[in-house]
Structure 1
């Protein structure tokens, strides 16, 4: 039993927390590997530091660095885990680049998709969980929780609204690949809803 499942959503959607708790629940049935982007492996983590903690950079440089980190992460961690028959849960993947760099940065969805398809070489997720929340609510959560804000967190609300718009366009183009979860609820409700929908999906594979 193997599957590649990615988790997507705007800042403050609760992605990382939901993924962690879902992994704990699924481990009773499946062999689970959790990981994240950018990062997940040594080289990827170094690129993550540049991307999220560094200074401002050209938007195309940013897109290329995300794609490079993604490639290294895939070949070093994701593909070996899938070859071993494991279920991989990944915090962000190609859709993040499309929404953030392709749409919100204005580079273009097709342009960023082309770069990333070269990086992933056809390895799309089996299913993608999208945690659906408005940019404004996500922003309020980040401020309330006093989370350390990275370079992308610090973008203005208009940027984050464009990120949400970008995700909506991606989902519209590939609705069959997404499980949409209303993330504007308690973390317990979101986790329970996500778990039941993912478990049903995995049981049917």
Structure 2
């Protein structure tokens, strides 16, 4: 990529940690600062840039489907590849910064560790699928498992295929994230999300300013 290429920032987090809200607040802030044209926002699974990736998203989240964890890993990787080809790579090459709600860390955690497919197996699948495209930074919203369940129960009605309100599951989820982060600590900034949404937003803005995205 050219020297002009933008930065690729990924936001990961425990369920209920405020990712979606913070990303919307970021969009609003960038509009206020007249900087929104310098950014592209995306989320996984699926892609605003690919109807095929959105079809894969619907397959993954459909409660009627019963895929193995390996099939899930492959579907996420296929959706991720489409999102890169149609959205992320062109944006970065044109000098725009990309902020993504989830990326391959989620696959390492959910399918690799929790699903039992294997960390190294899922890592290999994604390195191939993405041409080993790594984010410049991954911001992880850490949240106590009990708080995850409390927030999810309050916010959501019917859970999709990948959601649960089992607190033990969220203890395993948090441990899995910590395992992935420990494997490559330099790529992550961990934020304590046991705070108000305003405080959390300030923490995110501080990080983005430090890496000169804002």
Q: Deviations over 1:100-129 (max 9, x none)?
A: 000111111111101111111121000011
- Distance in 1 (alpha carbons) for counterparts of 2:169 and 2:76: 18
2:62 is aligned to 53
Q: Deviations over 1:14-54 (max 9, x none)?
A: 11111221233245246111110101131111111111124
Q: Which of residues 7, 12, 20 in structure 1 aligns to 2:11? A: 7
Shift of residue 149, structure 1, vs aligned partner: 1.7
* Structure 2 stretches lacking a partner, 5+ long: none
> What CA distance in whole angstroms lies between the structure 1 residues aligned with 2:78 and 2:125?
9
RMSD: 1.7
Aligned residues: 204
Q: 2:74 aligns with which of 60, 64, 82?
A: 64
CA distance in 2, matches of 1:37, 1:104: 18
Q: TM-score, normalised by structure 2?
A: 0.89
Paired position in structure 2 for 1:97:
107
Q: TM-score, normalised by structure 1?
A: 0.93
CA distance in 2, matches of 1:95, 1:157: 21
1:38 aligns with 2:45: yes
Q: Quick one: distance in 1 between partners of 2:113 and 2:14?
A: 13
Which residue among 177, 186, 202 is the counterpart of 1:167?
A: 177
Alignment correspondent of 2:120: 110
**Structure 2 residue 134 is matched with structure 1 residue 129:** no
CA contact (8 A) 1:132 1:181 kept: yes
SS of aligned partner of 2:212: helix
The Cα shift of 1:147 comes to: 4.5
- Which residue is equivalent to 2:200? 190
2:88 pairs with 78, 82, 86, which one?
A: 78
